[in-house]
Structures are given as C-alpha cells and as structure tokens.
Amino acid sequence: MPLDPALLKSAQQWLAEDPDPATRAELQALLDKDDVAELSDRFGAALEFGTAGLRGTLGAGTNRMNRAVVRRTTLGLARYLKAQVPDVAARGVVIGRDGRIGSPEFLEDTAAVLCAEGIPAHVFEGVVPTPLVAHAVAALGAAAGVMVTASHNPPAYNGYKVYWGNGAQIIPPHDAGIAAEIAKAGPAQAIALASREQAGALYRPIAKSVEEGYFRALAGLMVHPELPRDLAIAYTPMHGVGNRFARRALADAGFTKVETVPEQAEPDGRFPTVAFPNPEEPGAMDLVLALATKLDADLALANDPDADRLAVAVRTAKGQYQQLTGNEVGILLGHYLLTEGKQDANRLVIASLVSSSQLGLMAAALGVAYDETLTGFKWIANRAMQLEKSEGRRFVFGFEEALGYTVGTVARDKDGVGAALLVAELAAFAKTKGRTLLEQLGEIQRRFGLFAASQKSLTLPGASGLSQIKGIMAAFRASPPEKVGTLRVEAVRDLKAGTRTVGGKVEKLALPPSDVIVYELEGNARVVLRPSGTEPKIKFYFERKEAVGAGEPIAEARARASAALAELQDGFLRLVDPVKAK
C-alpha cells in the first residue's frame, strides 16, 4: 500500500527542515525503502505536549523525540513564559538531564533556544535526579524548569518534563498555553540558537551550593536522627543517575553499610542489564535482590533511572526478600511521619485517587487533614501548595501507588532519593523495636485495617484499540453495575462529568475533569477505571479492606484479604469482557 500523499509531504518537509544530520539520514533511509508502516507511524500523529510535557520514542518524525521537536517545544515554552511571567528575563529557567541517549543534546538545544530568546539558562552540568531539578527551580527563584528524561520508560524513549516557577510540574492552563505557542513555532531549522559562547552571561552553570542545599534539606526530613543506623542496604540506581545522590544522602544520615549493584552503578542509556528499567516490572530487581542475598542485607532499595521513584524489598523471616508495593511503602511512610514526626493541628497528607485509601482513613483517625487528587504528582504538589496557602496547612507527605513519594517540601515532586533516606530511617526505627518493615506494616494493619490492592491493565494498541478503550468507558458510564461480584455499588464518581452519585442523589466533585470512573463498594472496597495517558492501555484498580481478627495471625488475614481481592477483580473483569467484545 503506498504512503498517503499528505504523510509523504510531511516526511519530505521534515527532511528539509530537520537540523540534525543523524535523524535526517534515518528518515532518508526510510523513504528510500518506502517503509510505509514506519513512515505512517512517525508522521501520522505528533507527540502531544501536555501536563507531563513530552515523552516518546527517539527518532525522526513528528511522532518521535528528536532535536527538532525539542527546539520547537523550547521556543514555545520561551514565548509562553515571556507572555505570562514579566520577569522571566531576570529569573531564567533551570535545565537538567538524565543519562539517556539524546539527553545531552536535548539539554544543550534547550539552553541554546532559551538564551537566543534572552532568557537565562541555569544549567546542571552532568546528570542529576529529577527531584533536584524541582528543588532548584524553587531554590533559584526560576520562572520554570525543564528536566530531560523519560523516567522509567524503555531505552528507546526520552522526554521533556516542564516545571512552573512554584517548583511543581505544570497543570492547566499552562500545558495548553505552551502547546499553542509550540504550534506557532515554525521550522526547527529556522529557530535561533545561542551557543554557550554566544550566550555569555545568559548561560549559567548551576553552582554546587544548590546541590548542597538539597542534601541539607533532605537531612532535615529525618524524624529520629539520634537512632542507630546499623542496617545493611543493597542499592541500585538501575543504570540511572541516583547512585551518587542516594549514597550521599544515606551516608550523611549515618547509613554507611550501603553497597551498589556494580553492573548498574553508572548512568547508561542503553540499560544493558535490564530491558525495562521500571522497578515494578518483573525481573527488574533481580540484580539488587541477588546483592541483598549475598550481603544478608536488611533492605534492598532501587531508584528508577531519574531517581524520582523508589522500590523497596525487605528480608523475610525465611531469609528471602519480598518487594513491597507502592501502597505498602506509602502507608508505612505516612504512618511513621504522622505518629513519630512533629505533631500539630495543621498537618496534611495527600494521595492520588488510585492509591490506597488507607492513608485517608488513617489520617482521619489521627486527626490529620487528608486530600485526594487525580493521578500524577503534578496534582499532589499543586494541591499541597494550594491548601498550604488557603488553609494554613503543613504538608507532611504525599504518595501515589506507582512507587512515587515525597516528604515535606524539599521537592515539589516525587523524590526517590528523599524516600530512600526515610525508608532507611524507618527500617532503623523498626529494628530498635525488634521489628522488620513487614512486621511494622502488620502492626499498622491490625490497628487501621488491612487494605489489599491490585491493578489490571488491558493493552489495546492502534486506532481500533483507542476506539475500544473509549467504548469501555462509555459503556460503564451509560450503565453502571449495581454489583461487582458480591459487593453492592454504593456510589459512582464520574470525574469526566464532575459528579458523585449516591442513591440517585448527584453531588458535585471538586477535582478537575478527567476520564476516570470510581465505583465505591460496600465495606470500603473500590474499583477505579482509568485510560492511560501515555500508553495504549486502560487500567483498572481494585481495593478491598479486611479487618484483622483479635489474635489472628497477620499472614492468615493477608491470605484472606488476597482471596477477597481476587474475587473482586474477577467479578469486575467478567463485566468488562462483554463490553470489550462489542
């Protein structure tokens, strides 16, 4: 089948305007081979700039991450900042990068475009973790920040994350405003650049003092700095940027028995020992668990490649290692900070709506304010700042189930380095009580209930898959079930409509509109439906609460909760199958 003439014209125009000889050669080879499928994929759509910035596969084309896309995006950002931030020429923009393929070039292009627009570029020299960029935006009083990273995506990806001047990721209306300016940017080859030499004083390497300030702030998060730090820790940055930063934060706090997986210690965008550098993926933690076994370590910790997420595994009574879920780590940290940290009436904790509802119930029992946001730390961080200002709250902790946590206000984003430090301190605290983290979790579950959670994703690629995903959401909106399995549906939250329906009564929701449905079930059970914003998937989140009986072994309660959760999941997926088949 021949290539659509409009797509062929787009490809030829791109070839003429691409400033990068490497991607020009790549595209020319595809045109020479008449590779219709690949060309259609690259030019049939464009990477969409949104609240997560940009993220995509590296390569030539409008639907890929490349230098042309980065230059046009940066010009759009620069012009939006000039329109919205009167003193942007004084404040500038912070820029950092991870160790992925293309990241050095994307960082330099970002700086060159900003400087050509008269905007100072505060540039981190070398690789840095994402939370340090968020911290630096606030520390330097910058107008915005850019982190070049694809976080935990596979090796073929890269991305461009944008922070506003408050140090948090952008939210509406800034995403749409920047996207509108990008659309006006014109050919990448025509965009003015100022090299480091040409930029002069506009190109500003970030002083080491900013990094030192970050470490000092992390040290200030500790709840019990006086406790013994007699823990053995196995750690991996998963070929990312975290090793120097996590090791330094732990060492400053007195954790000296830390060893890094040697094969994964240095940044390497090829990720040679792990195909998918996401600690949640099967096999991704194999090397750090092997090191933990060798060391007989108390803990195994893993950051994702840009060190904004943290995975935790703990030694069991049988000497094996069990990886905790993001919900379990979130509950452990939340409980520790609320029960052992500074006690005051203005404390605030926040979780995303797909994360364990246990944090909210626990906070209520402890007299602490709780709020819930859409998925994504941009919402958690911005909501925390809003409530700090409007209600005088003190933000203590926020988390989302996908291994994202932040403590206090060091970084207005998830911070895998700070989380590693607090998890290590919590493990040291539990050890002084003669408990492991698993046993500490069991004590929390006895007091506040045992919340079991799981997630199921359906991958439905292509245009037909997108149609199916939309069809599933539309069908469940049109005909909400009365029961899921054996559990009665007590309320329905439709975030797209902004409503919560209980017994025929409709209430308005305060959350921003989003394509999410929440079924609240009897007994504090819950099902959430949410199409992915970055992948061709629809995700379903399940949660059940079980009480732990007096004197009941926690292992038995967990097994009972797991069986009840599986029953809930199976009951819901039976409802999905007929819809999917339509």
Sheet containing 54-57: order of strands: 54-57, 157-164, 144-148, 93-97, 121-123, 203-205
Mean pLDDT of 453-479: 89
- Give the helix/strand (H/E) hosting 135: helix 130-140
In 3D, which of 224, 286, 292, 309 has the Cα closest to residue 257? 292
In order of 47, 305, 432, 438, 451, the CA distances from 435 in angstroms are 49, 31, 7, 8, 20
What backbone torsions phi and psi does residue 523 show, to the nearest 5 degrees? 75, 25
Q: Note the pLDDT of residue 137.
A: 98
- pLDDT of res. 218: 98
274 or 504, higher pLDDT: 274
Identify whether the C-beta of residue 338 lies closer than 8 Å to the C-beta of residue 348. no
* Residue written as token pair 């493990």: 427
DSSP class of residue 413 equals S
Rounded to two decimals, the pTM is 0.94
**Six-digit token string for 142:** 């910058």
3-state secondary structure of 155: coil
Rounded Cα distance, 51 and 258, in Å: 36
Fold of 214-221+230-318: Alpha-D-Glucose-1,6-Bisphosphate; Chain A, domain 3 (3.40.120)
Residue 461 DSSP SS3? coil
301-314 pLDDT tens trace:
999 999 999 999 99
Span 112-132, mean pLDDT? Answer: 98
Where are any strands of DSSP class E within 478-522?
A: 483-484, 487-494, 499-502, 505-508, 517-521
Picking from 155, 94, 158, 162, the residue whose alpha carbon sits closest to that of residue 128 is 94
Report the catalytic residues.
151
- pLDDT of 51 reads 74
pLDDT for 319: 85
> Cis link prior to 173 (omega < 30° from 0)?
yes
> What whole-number distance in Å separates Cα of residue 279 and Cα of residue 235?
12
* Region of residue 106 (left: phi > 0; alpha: psi -120 to 50; beta: else): alpha
φ and ψ at residue 105, rounded to 5 degrees: -65, -40
In angstroms, the CA 131 to CA 211 distance is 11
d(CA 68, CA 305): 24
Chain centroid to Cα 113, Å, comes to 27
- CATH number corresponding to 450-581: 3.30.310.50
The tokens for 487 are: 């559990």
Q: Please state, in angstroms and rounded to a whole number, the distance separating the CA atoms of residues 310 and 416.
A: 5
- Range 486-491 average pLDDT: 95
> For 495-534, what is each residue's pLDDT tens digit?
999 999 998 899 999 899 999 999 999 999 999 999 987 6
pLDDT of amino acid 489: 96
Q: Is the pLDDT of residue 482 over 80?
A: yes
Structure confidence at residue 317 (pLDDT) = 82
pLDDT at res. 127: 98
* Residue 436: how many other CB atoms lie within 10 Å: 19
Q: Assess contact for 190 and 112: CB atoms under 8 A.
A: no
Residue-wise DSSP of 336-380:
HHHHHS---TTEEEEEETTS-THHHHHHHHTT-EEEEE-SSHHHH
pLDDT in tens, 203-254: 999 999 999 999 999 999 999 999 999 999 999 999 999 999 999 999 999 9
Phi, psi angles (nearest 5°) of residue 57: -70, 140
Is the model's pLDDT at 577 over the cut of 90? Answer: no
CATH 3.40.120.10 fits 5-206, yes or no: yes
Read off the pLDDT of each residue in 460-484 and give the average, rounded to a whole number: 89
For residues 62-76, average pLDDT: 97
Cα–Cα nearest to 509, from 499, 517, 518: 499
pLDDT at residue 288 greater than cutoff 70: yes
Dihedral angle, C-alpha 451, 331, 129, 288, nearest 10 °: -70
pLDDT digits 0-9 by tens, 80-108: 999 999 999 999 999 999 999 999 999 99
Asked whether residue 457 carries a pLDDT value surpassing 60, the answer given is yes
Spatial CA neighbour of 62 closest among 72, 52, 53: 72
CA terminus-to-terminus distance, the chain: 29
Q: What percent of the chain has pLDDT over 90?
A: 90
Q: Note the pLDDT of residue 3.
A: 74
Confidence of residue 183 (pLDDT cuts 50, 70, 90): very high
pLDDT of res. 578:
74
E strand or H helix at 462 = helix 462-478
**Domains 214-221+230-318 and 450-581 agree in fold:** no
Given this model, what pLDDT does residue 534 score?
Answer: 64
What average pLDDT does the structure give for the chain? 95
**Rounded average pLDDT over 394-421:** 97
Q: pLDDT at position 59, please?
A: 96
Q: What is the pLDDT of residues 133-162, one digit of tens each?
A: 999 999 999 999 999 999 999 999 999 999
Provide Rg for the chain, Cα atoms. 24
Show me where the domains of the chain are located.
Answer: 5-206, 214-221+230-318, 326-448, 450-581
CA–CA distance, 13 with 219 (Å, rounded to integer): 53
Specify the CATH architecture of the domain 326-448. 3-Layer(aba) Sandwich (3.40)
